[in-house]
Structure 1
Amino acid sequence: MGLLAVESSVVLVRELVRYALANWAFGRAAIDDTVVVASEIVTNAVKAAYGREIRVRVAVRDGSALFECWDPSPELPRARRAGPDDLDGRGLAIVAAYAKESGVRPSGTGVGKVVWAVIG
């Protein structure tokens, strides 16, 4: 699904994930965990490509939820150490805490990257 990289798209993605996983009969915990991971990944994409198109995909892989987000920025996400008063900088640590696997790969088109996570 293509979206505009703006803050309100994060809310839309949360609902998309809830709807898709509920329809695929995932349990509440897996849905909630995937929503958290998707929120963090899309928030990073919005920051990387503000105002441009991003694309998300929710799927099932080997019985687990798979979330992917493409953005056109070539800049790779990088982990940061957030201080106790910092408002951001924890996203990749949150993804790592909830996901069984996660990573980033170049886009198949050669433009941008895909950040992905397998949850549950």
Structure 2
Amino acid sequence: MAVAERAWCVVIPHHPRGARIARQRLTTELHAAVHPTLLADAVAVLAELVGNAVRHASPLPGEVIRVAWRLRPAGSDAETDRDTVEVRVTDGGAIEQPRVRTIATDAVDGRGLSIVAALSDRWGVDRDGLGQSVWAELSGTFDHERRESP
């Protein structure tokens, strides 16, 4: 059974509670569609990206952040035989370009993008005149017994 690519977009507050809202929505939408390990990694990456947007970037108009994710099931295109989840967090931008930092082992923060880089296949930053989007792609083997019909 082929399942088509699906995408979601959620607007959340530019506030730490926004990360919880984003995690809950992502989990609700994808829990039956992807393997639990892939879902856990996608949730962790999304939480890091939202946390970074709240901490380091300005909000979009309305004091919000836009969070989006896309599911490309295995076999939905010729490029992959694995499920792929892309998460994207769009904010009003930051003064500094998001980057992985080298930090001391006893530092209490600064590991967010290192976590994103470790869990994702690839990640990046897109900028336009309205702000910036930080995105990450994760892939994993599909758990066929968990899939539900759309």
1:28 maps to which of 33, 36, 57? 36
Q: Does 1:118 pair with 2:118? A: no
CA distance in 1, matches of 2:15, 2:54: 6
SS in 1 for 2:121: strand
Length-normalised TM-score, structure 1? 0.88
Deviation at 1:114, TM superposition (A): 0.6
Q: Which structure would you say has the larger Rg?
A: 2
Query: Percentage identity across aligned positions?
Result: 32
Q: Does 1:67 pair with 2:83? A: no
SS in 2 for 1:30: helix
Length-normalised TM-score, structure 2? 0.72
* Superimposed CA distance per residue, residues 91-119 of structure 1 (whole angstroms, 9 cap, x where no aligned partner): 11100100011101114xx2111100111
C-alpha contact 1:20 1:58 (8 A) present in aligned 2: no
Deviation at 1:84, TM superposition (A): 2.3
Match of 1:5 in 2: 14
C-alpha contact 2:12 2:21 (8 A) present in aligned 1: no
Deviation at 1:20, TM superposition (A): 1.6
What is the alpha-carbon root mean square deviation over aligned residues? Answer: 1.7
Distance 1:112 1:74, change over 3 A: farther
Which letter maps to 2:38? A
Hey, which of these two has a bigger chunk of helix by percent?
1
SS in 1 for 2:69: strand
Within 5 Å, which residues of 2 pair with 1:90-101?
90-101=111-122
Structure 1's unaligned 5+ residue stretches are: none
Structure 2's unaligned 5+ residue stretches are: 1-9, 74-82, 140-150
Within 5 Å, which residues of 2 pair with 1:74-113?
74-75=94-95, 76-107=97-128, 110-113=129-132
CA distance in 1, matches of 2:38, 2:92: 29
Q: Does 1:19 pair with 2:28? A: yes
C-alpha contact 2:71 2:86 (8 A) present in aligned 1: yes
